[in-house]
Amino acid sequence: MIWDVALQRRFEHAKRRFDLDVRFASDARRLVLFGPSGAGKTQTLRIIAGLTPADAGHVRIAGRSFYDRAAGIDVPAHRRQLAYVFQDYALFPHLTVVQNIAFGLQPGWRNPSREIRHAAVERWMKAFELLPVARHYPGQLSGGQRQRTALARALVAQPHALLLDEPFAALDAALRARLRDELADLQAQLAIPLLLITHDEADVQRFGDRVLQIDAGRCADTAAAPALRPAAAAS
């Protein structure tokens, strides 16, 4: 089983309460978590990445256990080796493209130098056509370049899985369609599992080997998902 996730978490803010209860298990390499805003998608992804604690449940991906309340396992976020691409990419504004991409590769308390040369970094910059902007800061990049920098930064460390939070939401419509194709092609070449969350049906069409619907903190049963989205299941 590639994805084996069961999560419960109660969020309480002021007088509002939100219960997240998400369970899914799937052998699909590409998984789309689809639902409207406020359904709990991002919180689900954050719990999987270890950025938000859960109350109960477990997270297993491709045989690795990252969280298991019953067994007392809770691997901290910085040891999970799960790549997380934030909705607005969260590129470090004080670092150049090449420094951003090399960020996870260099241990210690100092950032990679502006002049850093690293084979894997170069390879990803080449693949994503980022070499011409290697010395640029994130504020100087186009939307597409930002997304590719974020993807390169996430993938260069060879993560166990790729978690994408609305990866196309920050882009304009024309660019969105193109980058969607790019990412789909890229993922077809990569062996790592991908979990993408979105509220955009077009993402579902393109990436949904398996589609999970989430609404009001509850996730539909996996077996029901393909029936709910026949077009996506067929693609």
Partner 1 sequence: MEGAWVALALTLKVAGWATLLTLLAGVAAGWLLARARFAGRDLLDALLTLPMVMPPTVLGYYLLVLLGRRGPVGAWLQANFGINLIFTWQGAVIAAAVVAFPLVFKAARAAFESVEPQYEQAARVLGHGEAAVFFRVTLPLAWRGILAGVLLAFARATGEFGATLMVAGSIPGRTQTLSVAVYEAVQAGQDDVANFLVLVTSVTCIAVLLAAGRLAPGRVAGQP
> Contact residues for partner 1 (CB under 8 A)?
49-51, 76-84, 86, 88, 90, 92-94, 96, 103-104, 107-111, 136-140, 153-154, 157
What burial letters (b/e) apply to 152-182, b meaning 16+ CB within 10 Å?
A: bbbbbeebebbbbbbbbebbeeeebeebbee
Q: How far is the CB of 163 from partner 1 (least distance, A)?
A: 9
Q: In whole angstroms, what is the distance from residue 123 CA to residue 109 CA?
A: 25
Complex with partner 1: residue 8 or 52, whichever CB lies closer? 52
Consecutive H or E run containing 231: helix 230-234
For 151-171, give the DSSP string: HHHHHTT--SEEEEESTTTTS
- 77 vs 233 by CB, closer to partner 1: 77
Q: Which is nearer to partner 1, 194 or 211 (CB)?
A: 194
Q: Which is nearer to partner 1, 51 or 186 (CB)?
A: 51
Contacts of 232 (CB under 8 A, 6+ apart): 32, 204, 205, 208, 211, 226
Q: Minimum CB separation from partner 1 for residue 124, in Å?
A: 14
Query: Least CB distance from residue 230 to partner 1, whole Å?
Result: 35
User: Closest separation between CB of residue 149 and partner 1, Å?
Assistant: 12
